[in-house]
Amino acid sequence: MMTDLQETALHALHVSLGAKMVPFAGYSMPVQYPSGILAEHRHTRGQAGLFDVGHMGQARIHGTDAARAFEALVPGDIQGLEVDRTRYTQLTNDSGGIIDDLMVTRRGDHLFLVVNAACKEGDYAHIAGALPKDCRLELLEDRALIALQGPAAIAVVEGLSPGLSKLGFMSLADVTIGGIACTVSRSGYTGEDGVEISVANSAVEGLARTLLKDARVKPVGLGARDTLRLEAGLCLYGHDIDTTTTPIEAALAWSIGKRRRAEGGFAGAATILAQLANGAPRKRVGILPEGRVPVRDHADITDPAGAKIGTITSGGFGPSLDRPIAMGYVVAAQAGEGAPLGITVRDKKIPSKVARLPFVAHRYHKDR
Amino acid sequence: MASLKYTDQHEWVAVDGDTATVGITDYAQGQLGDVVFVELPDEGKSFAMGDQAAVVESVKAAAEVYAPISGEIVEVNEALNGKPELVNEDAIGDGWFFKISIDDETELDSLMDEKEYREFVKGLG
């Protein structure tokens, strides 16, 4: 079945750079450029990769008590955020499952949200339906989003917008880059230091071309975005988390602050707080398969006796480790680091072990 | 080298006497992207035309490689175990997968020649 794919504001640039375009979440997106996924991955770890993430949803919630109202939908501490600080959290359902994961920033007079492309329509309906009358959801459909990630990313943007290097991790600022008004967040999805830049659709191609003029910057597609985030142990919605997994099972308990644990008051709190207290029946873990065979999502995970104890949710090749890596859910009793597992690939069992996440250490900016 | 024959599954076949060397086409390696693993068949194993004979895994995905003709595996390209990227670098040369005996020469007639394969790929858009 053919469906009309949407295009981001950088579509023409991708095509001119020779990208291979694929359908993703209803959009035509670059999966790779001519240099290929391995080279793009390594370039991001070594210098700076430029990603188009304009398919993601950007929105604002207005209202004097927006932070308090939004806390009914997410387990993250939003009221405790200082102005222009960002929190990673999840929209949860009444049984504690994850509707989407998202970034929430507390601005002066509103909350700024960035949600997943494939989930955004559902998220907006869910949020709009749950907000009280004095709060209003505004979709920012005229905004593009790009990410610049890697050890050289901050030096690149500092050169174009002096002072940006002082921006703290998970903080946001309104700045101009090369004369273009931007909202810059020091965050990302690769495990590297870097920024995500929200900018008007009409200005994003000029900004991207300015960034690409820097020899340290190369365009990077969704293929390497996936290998980078997998090495960084970060969840991909629809694979590692969905409406059947709770934040506790997904090993995201770190994203639920002390006050929210004590007070509850969010969708699914009964299940999530009980799992926090008593443990969850299963857990998302890192997995290192022996040998060279990549294990992919949906593969069965077995215990040493051969009984099925879980499923791979993300798997493939980790270019920085030059070996296969994976994540998946296993029963709690087998979730300890080093626990022996088997992964079924084409009717063969690949001996594997539970491994510590992330596979590649995060290199986020640490505020002094 | 004799001219190559092609399948609609993007394997190439080079006939040399009573055996044929098989690999995936340059178009196929380009579609797959960076190859990180190749699972080769066991030598001595027999396949019917169209049977799955090998698997090629890129960073993104796994793809099946089919026996383009019926026969027995007489040799596999062990070099791919250490350097799977040979498939990307030289798909119709050093990136060959296996050599298979030719049990039925008439099967070769059903394969595409270079010009037909080029038209076939063009039709894929």
Sequence spans of domains, chain A:
6-54+142-231, 281-368
pLDDT given for residue B3 in this prediction: 82
Q: How confident is the model at residue A64 (pLDDT cuts 50, 70, 90)?
A: confident
pLDDT exceeds 50 at position A232: yes
A81/A283 Cα distance (integer angstroms): 28
pLDDT exceeds 50 at position A251: yes
Chain A residues in contact with chain B using a Cβ-Cβ cutoff of 8 Å: 31-32, 36-38, 223, 227, 292-294, 296, 316-317, 319, 324, 346
A294 vs B125: which has the higher pLDDT: A294
pLDDT given for residue A367 in this prediction: 75
ipTM: 0.90
The answer to whether A319 contacts B57, with C-beta atoms less than 8 Å apart, is no
The answer to whether B34 contacts A227, with C-beta atoms less than 8 Å apart, is no
- Angle among Cα B52, B53, B54 to the nearest 5 degrees reads 105
Could you tell me the fold of the domain covering B5-103+110-123?
A: OB fold (Dihydrolipoamide Acetyltransferase, E2P) (2.40.50)
A35, A292, A320, best to mutate vs chain B, most B CBs in 10 Å? A292
Residues of B in contact with A227 (CB under 8 A): 59
- Helix crossing, A153-160 with A201-212: angle to 10°? 110
Among B22, B4, B17, CA closest to B70: B22
Mean pLDDT (chain B, rounded): 96
Structural contact between residues B67 and B51, judged by C-beta atoms closer than 8 angstroms? yes
A-to-B residue pairs, Cβ atoms closer than 8 angstroms: 39
Could you tell me the fold of the domain covering A6-54+142-231?
A: Gyrase A; domain 2 (3.30.1360)
Q: How confident is the model at residue A1 (pLDDT cuts 50, 70, 90)?
A: very low
CA distance B81 to chain A (A): 9
State percent of chain A over pLDDT 90: 97
Read off φ and ψ for residue A5, nearest 5 degrees: -85, 140
The answer to whether A319 contacts B59, with C-beta atoms less than 8 Å apart, is yes
The answer to whether A317 contacts B36, with C-beta atoms less than 8 Å apart, is yes
Digit-coded pLDDT (tens) for A145-191 = 999 999 999 999 999 999 999 999 999 999 999 889 999 999 999 99
Digit-coded pLDDT (tens) for A215-226 = 999 999 999 999
Q: How confident is the model at residue A291 (pLDDT cuts 50, 70, 90)?
A: very high
B89 lies within 8 A of chain A by CB: no
CATH of domain A281-368: 2.40.30.110
Digit-coded pLDDT (tens) for A25-41 = 999 999 999 999 999 99
The answer to whether A223 contacts B39, with C-beta atoms less than 8 Å apart, is no
The answer to whether B59 contacts A31, with C-beta atoms less than 8 Å apart, is no
B114 lies within 8 A of chain A by CB: no
Q: How confident is the model at residue B125 (pLDDT cuts 50, 70, 90)?
A: confident
pLDDT given for residue B2 in this prediction: 61
Query: What number is the average pLDDT over the span A127-147?
Result: 97
Digit-coded pLDDT (tens) for A304-348 = 999 999 999 999 999 999 999 999 999 999 999 999 999 999 999
- Interface list for B 25-54 with A (CB within 8 A): 33-34, 36-37, 39
Structural contact between residues A325 and A230, judged by C-beta atoms closer than 8 angstroms? yes
B57/B38 Cα distance (integer angstroms): 6
pLDDT exceeds 70 at position A208: yes
Mean pLDDT (chain A, rounded): 97
Give the C-alpha distances (Å, rounded to integers) separating A120 from A87, A115, A168.
18, 6, 27
